[in-house]
Amino acid sequence: MSCDLIKNKEKERNENLIWLKLDGEYYLAKINKNSEYIYNQDSYVLNNLGASNQLTNVEWHKIGDESVIPGCISTSFIRGQALQRIKKNAALKISQILYNKYIEMNYLSTEIENNSENFYSLLSPKDCEDLLYFCFYHKFKYVAVPSTNKTNTQTYEFVMLSPKNRERKIYIQVKNGDSEIVDLYLEDYQKLDGKVYLLTIEGKIYESKEKKEKKEALKIEFKNNSFMKKIGSTNTNKKIYAVNPEVLYEFAKEAYKNETILMPKSILQWFEYLK
């Protein structure tokens, strides 16, 4: 169990919101005017749990599992402390929206600007994987090989096959979330036997980890708002591409308006709050 705090510096303390994750479910609470922090050093049980510091008069409300939780919230629980502040984009506004929607029944009293930065902050890493997959399926009819989507394949998320030639495969790698763990390195993909497509939202792409130590990231410019740009090659001369996040965002907006485009609800649901 861990908690994350959303704090609004511009308002009083009773506007602060707290997220809690317990057994795969997410709970939300608001710190009210009667809440106060206390330190209970006399409780043997609390001391053993590391919970001597407590906040009183907090009413928790169950929101749901990860499918209804924005990425800026769910990824904050990765490698986090017992209690920490969430500083990610749109975290406060979306938390206020969900609190209003599920608890106060005051639907959509807060709006979030509809831009790519806010959109990606609401997506989980898995949502970003799905978004790129459905884009490839829609544009090029590539299909994923389910068995290749394994956690032990650290250098790619899954393999996709061309509908025209089953021997033609591509590898997908997607990173979204904490900026410290979303950088990508071309050296990790040299041994793959197909084209490689890399997408990182907050990170950078380097030729190698040595280049990162020297702070020499690749300078990637997408001319004419192109979908991808070649940035390297594998040992077998297969191309390695960087994917343009802005074009992918525009595709998601199109899918929200066009029901003929296949897209999971877990991605499209956030456009309900982006105005």
> Quick one: pLDDT at residue 179?
62
- For 156-169, write each residue's pLDDT tens digit: 999 999 999 989 99
Q: What pLDDT does residue 11 have?
A: 47
pTM of the entire structure?
A: 0.84
The confidence score (pLDDT) of residue 14 equals 41
pLDDT of residue 178: 66
Which DSSP state fits 274?
B
Q: Which residues of the chain, if any, have pLDDT below 70?
A: 1-15, 39-53, 79-80, 82, 106-110, 151, 153, 178-180
Q: List, in order, residues 6 or more apart from 27 with CB less than 8 Å away.
A: 19, 20, 21, 60, 61, 62, 63
Strand order in the sheet with 61-64: 61-64, 25-30, 17-22, 2-6, 83-85
CA 235 to CA 252: how far, in whole Å?
33
**Which pLDDT does position 154 carry in this prediction?**
73
Phi, psi of 198 (to 5 degrees): -115, 135
What pLDDT is recorded for position 10? 45
The pLDDT of residue 115 is 95
| pLDDT reported for residue 3 | 64
- For the chain, which residues make up each domain, given as ranges? 2-110, 124-249
**What pairs with residue 232 in β-bridges?**
240
